[in-house]
Structure 1
Amino acid sequence: MTLIWLGVLLVFGGVLQMAFQPIWRGRLSGRRRLRAGQPGDTLEPERPAGGFGFKSNWPGLVLLALGAAFLLVGATI
Structure 2
Amino acid sequence: MKAAKRLSNCVLETDAVARLGGDEFTIILNGINNQSCVEAIIQTILLELATPRTRDILSCKTHCYCRRNQSDYRYR
- TM-score, structure 2 normalization: 0.32
Which is richer in helix? 1
* Structure 1 or 2: more strand by fraction: 2
Higher relative contact order (CA 8 A, sep 6+): 1
Calculate the TM-score normalised by the size of structure 1: 0.31
